């Protein structure tokens, strides 16, 4: 039982490049989320998927797209990376209202 | 408008003592949930404790307890018998609404706790 896994762990991009961050959970959770954490700050919600087949914007969705590939997987895509997207990205999943678990994070630097 | 406020950027405590980390929140929704997470220097987010707005009793999980004062809109985390491994960043977060099975969390800015031997 690996919980929430994310790949890659680290990534460096040049401005304008694209990439996809992958997330998978093996806990049979219905809901999945993408957050970003900037230095010295709490996490902010980018997108979420309340259930398989649905996705919705969070607080800071600009510059990102998501795909809920199936119940297990939820990917985050940066189409044209910008230095302002340098951050640590966390994927999370939840079941019900009380339990929310996070992946280990992806540290992304855009130069 | 900021929904979660953690007023203590940094705290320190002596090993084996108790410490309280403050969290106040703002919501007009009668149904909400409050979470505390620990983020050690390694960076992962570790779930500690949860309190629902309709829960009658304060939540407890081992050495962690949540001092929930609904009228004051505060949800302070109490760590008893601090250990060196408790040194980390601590985040308070809130879910507005009854969830409907999912949690869109709003996070505070965090409190960095240092435990001294």
Residue A1 clears pLDDT 80, i.e. is over it = no
| Higher local confidence (pLDDT), A96 or B20 | B20
Query: At residue A60, does pLDDT exceed 90?
Result: yes
What is the per-residue pLDDT for A40? Answer: 83
Q: Which of residues 7-66 of B touch A (CB under 8 A)?
A: 33, 35, 37, 43-45, 47, 50, 52
Average pLDDT, chain A: 94
Looking at the complex, report in whole angstroms how far the Cα of residue A104 sits from the nearest Cα belonging to chain B.
5
Q: Does B101 touch chain A (CB under 8 A)?
A: yes
Average pLDDT, integer, range A64-77:
96
Q: Which of B43, B44, B101 sits opposite A96 (nearest CB)?
A: B101
Residue bearing the bigger pLDDT, B28 or A47: A47
Residue B64 pLDDT: 98
Residues A11-21 have pLDDT tens digits of 999 999 999 99
What does the alpha-carbon distance between residue A56 and residue A88 come to, in Å, rounded to a whole number?
20
Q: Which position has the token pair 């409190």?
A: B111
What pLDDT was estimated at residue B1? 56
pLDDT of residue A83: 97
Query: What's the CA gap between A29 and B86, in Å, rounded?
Result: 29
Q: What is the pLDDT of residue B97?
A: 67
Q: Which of B4, B102, B110 sits opposite A31 (nearest CB)?
A: B102
Q: For strand A31-37 and strand B74-79, is the pairing parallel, antiparallel, or unpaired?
A: unpaired
Exposed / middle / buried, residue B87 (Cβ in 10 Å: 0-12, 13-18, 19+)? middle
Is the pLDDT assigned to residue B98 strictly greater than 80?
Answer: no
């Amino acid at each position: 039982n690996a919980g929430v896994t994310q790949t890659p762990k680290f990534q460096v991009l040049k401005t304008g490049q694209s990439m996809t961050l992958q997330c998978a959970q093996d806990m049979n959770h219905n809901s999945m989320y993408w957050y970003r954490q900037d230095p010295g700050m709490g996490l902010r919600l980018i997108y979420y998927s309340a259930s398989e087949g649905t996705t919705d914007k969070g607080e800071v969705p600009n510059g990102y797209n998501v795909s809920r590939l199936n119940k297990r997987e939820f990917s985050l895509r940066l189409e044209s990376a910008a230095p302002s997207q340098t951050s640590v990205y966390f994927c999370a999943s939840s079941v019900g209202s009380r339990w929310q678990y996070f992946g280990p994070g992806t540290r992304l630097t855009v130069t | 408008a900021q929904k979660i406020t953690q007023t203590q950027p940094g705290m320190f405590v002596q090993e084996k003592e108790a410490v309280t980390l403050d969290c106040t929140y703002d919501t007009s929704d009668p149904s909400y949930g409050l979470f505390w997470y620990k983020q050690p220097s390694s960076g992962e987010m570790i779930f500690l404790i949860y309190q629902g707005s309709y829960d009658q009793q304060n939540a407890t999980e081992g050495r962690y307890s949540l001092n929930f004062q609904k009228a004051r809109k505060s949800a302070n985390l109490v760590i008893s018998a601090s250990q060196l491994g408790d040194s980390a960043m601590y985040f308070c977060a809130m879910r507005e609404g009854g969830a409907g099975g999912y949690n869109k969390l709003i996070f505070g800015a965090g409190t960095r706790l240092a435990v001294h031997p």
